[in-house]
Structure 1
Amino acid sequence: MLNEKIPNQPIMSVAEPDIIFTDTIPGASHWSMKIPRGYTLTATDIEGGANLSVLFYNPDNLLERYNAPDTLKCQHTFKLTAGHCLYSDMGRIFCRVVRDDTGWIDTVCGVANKAKVTQKWGARTYQHDRNQWKQNGYDALLVEVAKYGLGKRDLAANLNLFSQVRTDTDGRLIYEENHSQPGDSIALSFEMETLVILTTCPHPLNPASEYPFKPVQLTLTQSSATATLAEPEHGKDENQRGLENNRRYHCIPPQEVL
């Protein structure tokens, strides 16, 4: 079945990773951080039904950012899951998906704007409703990238972790409700230093009658001590070229590449 959720688990290491930090991002919030090469960020859906929209940039050259078309076409896929790599627009790999309990990461639907959220769930303002206001994903990402001197033209196509959108036989997009369950985790192992921009605002196709405030827990560990894959599973030849681009970018001797 096209919409069957099959967890795709990575090869697990024996040793438990040392946690560098962990934090919970409330629903309808936004956040960012610079993650060094060799570290893994694990996102966990605490209550089920969460959505985590993410963007990636090279902090040393903010013109380099996540490229959705290259990521999908070189791995011949419409969705992402464990074993896939996430590409920059310069042919390098920001990170690899090394764990995905949901089996499907939405790659095409973007985020909702203020008008869409107001139409679907009504208007609320932070001045009146404080943390229960209805933030939208577009403005949340825009506020976060502004901290780094970026603006509207710098918002590339994003990923929606914990969300699945498939197509029916007529080509219409279908949002899968209850796709992510409480405790489901998605882990990204970073192959280069990356600025990660994220928001926990709801998916633009979420049909919930009430605005969903769904928190996500983030945990940072060292990649060498966490779950990993021996090599990229999907688009193997292309991904090896991407990793070679990373090696040359970092001037790493071939024998030191994981």
Structure 2
Amino acid sequence: MSTDTEKVARIAANKRRYDELKAAGDHAPAALPAPTPRGLPLPPGPLVREDIPAGWYHTLRLKAGEGLRLALMDAPAAVSLICWNAHDTSERLNYADTVKIQWTAKLQKGRVIFSDMGRVMLSLIEDTSAAHDALMGGSTAASNRARYGAKADTERLRNTRDNFILAAGKLGLDRRDIPPALTFFAPVRTDDAGKLAWGPDTRQAGDFVDLRAEMDLIVALSNCPHPLDPRPDYAAGIVEAIRFQAPPIAFDDLCRTATPEAARGFENLAR
């Protein structure tokens, strides 16, 4: 069995190797902007709004060029997301590639979300928090039991995995079609020992993230507390999901130009 010293040494060696690979190519991203100011209005045009209460889920379809704002209404919450290509659901969100291809687990304005076919599904065009989880995913029945004890069963506390099973069934899909989820408004980081940890929590009502669909999508959302959320109660605020028409894409669109890898993802999409 590895000792703690050996684990620390292995982590350090892996980080050195990562830095060497990153430096070997042209992987330096364009400077990404500061977080979006809270209160930024949505673009003019028709809006479709849906409130997602604590513990519940929502499904929707987005056409390429449409936007989706996920907004914290009255309290901090964590919103898990999965999605599929609306025309071929075998193509789905891949958060491992989203992290690997962009050389970072930090999702923020200017980043993109990749499918398992190397194509861009969503772009983060606005973001007030830059505090999102691209490493762990959402809650399960087991994580709820570990976090809340017997109350998880006696009070039937809902979890993201079961929500996505229900959402998939509603969409004519099943368990095998469910990919690992990204979770917005969940400040998950890795600590010095390489373990997943809850980072500084600056979330507040009024935070939002705006996503632009780069292909026609089917989206499922779940509003359940994150497994690492340190709050003692099963607490989550209402999340509003707002569909809108995203602004036209500029020639120098940040999401399309921030990294060579993102540019290739859009080239794959165009083909």
Q: TM-score range by the shorter chain?
A: 0.7 to 0.9
Q: CA deviation at 1:176?
A: 2.9
Deviation digits for residues 170-198 of structure 1, max 9, x if unmatched? Answer: 22221136331110110001111011111
Deviates more, 1:200-209 or 1:114-123: 114-123
- Work out the CA distance in 2 between the residues paired with 1:183 and 1:229: 29
Q: Which residue of 2 aligns with 1:168?
A: 191
Q: Which residue of 2 aligns with 1:158?
A: 181
Opposite residue 169 of structure 2, the aligned amino acid is A
Q: Which residue of 1 aligns with 2:106?
A: 79
CA RMSD of aligned residues (A): 2.7
Normalising to structure 1: TM-score of the pair? 0.82
Counting matched residue pairs gives: 236
- Work out the CA distance in 1 between the residues paired with 2:159 and 2:41: 40
- Work out the CA distance in 1 between the residues paired with 2:125 and 2:197: 26
Residue of structure 2 aligned with 1:187, choices 210, 225, 228: 210
Alpha-carbon distance change, 24 to 225 in structure 1, aligned in 2, over 3 angstroms:
farther
Opposite residue 233 of structure 2, the aligned amino acid is E
Residue 224 of structure 2 is aligned to residue 197 of structure 1: no
Higher helix share: 2
Q: Which residue of 2 aligns with 1:256?
A: none
- Work out the CA distance in 1 between the residues paired with 2:125 and 2:220: 19
User: Equivalent residue of 2:47, what SS?
Assistant: strand
Deviation digits for residues 7-38 of structure 1, max 9, x if unmatched? Answer: 5239xx99942232112111100111110011
Which runs of 5 or more structure 1 residues have no equivalent in the other structure? 1-5, 249-258
Q: Which residue of 2 aligns with 1:215?
A: 238
User: Equivalent residue of 1:98, what SS?
Assistant: strand
Residue 36 of structure 2 is aligned to residue 9 of structure 1: yes
Residue of structure 2 aligned with 1:118, choices 128, 141, 145: 145
Alpha-carbon distance change, 90 to 200 in structure 1, aligned in 2, over 3 angstroms:
same
Asked if structure 2 preserves the Cα contact closer than 8 Å seen for 1:35 and 1:193, the reply is yes
Q: Aligned ranges for residues 83-94 of structure 1 at < 5 Å?
A: 83-94=110-121
Q: Which residue of 1 aligns with 2:157?
A: 134
Deviation digits for residues 74-130 of structure 1, max 9, x if unmatched? Answer: 1110121110111111121111001110112210111221122133223467xx96x
Normalising to structure 2: TM-score of the pair? 0.79
Opposite residue 45 of structure 1, the aligned amino acid is L
Alpha-carbon distance change, 228 to 94 in structure 1, aligned in 2, over 3 angstroms:
farther
Identity of aligned residues (%): 29
Residue 264 of structure 2 is aligned to residue 237 of structure 1: no
- Work out the CA distance in 2 between the residues paired with 1:148 and 1:28: 19
- Work out the CA distance in 2 between the residues paired with 1:151 and 1:123: 28
Alpha-carbon distance change, 33 to 228 in structure 1, aligned in 2, over 3 angstroms:
farther
Which runs of 5 or more structure 2 residues have no equivalent in the other structure? 1-32
Asked if structure 1 preserves the Cα contact closer than 8 Å seen for 2:225 and 2:235, the reply is yes
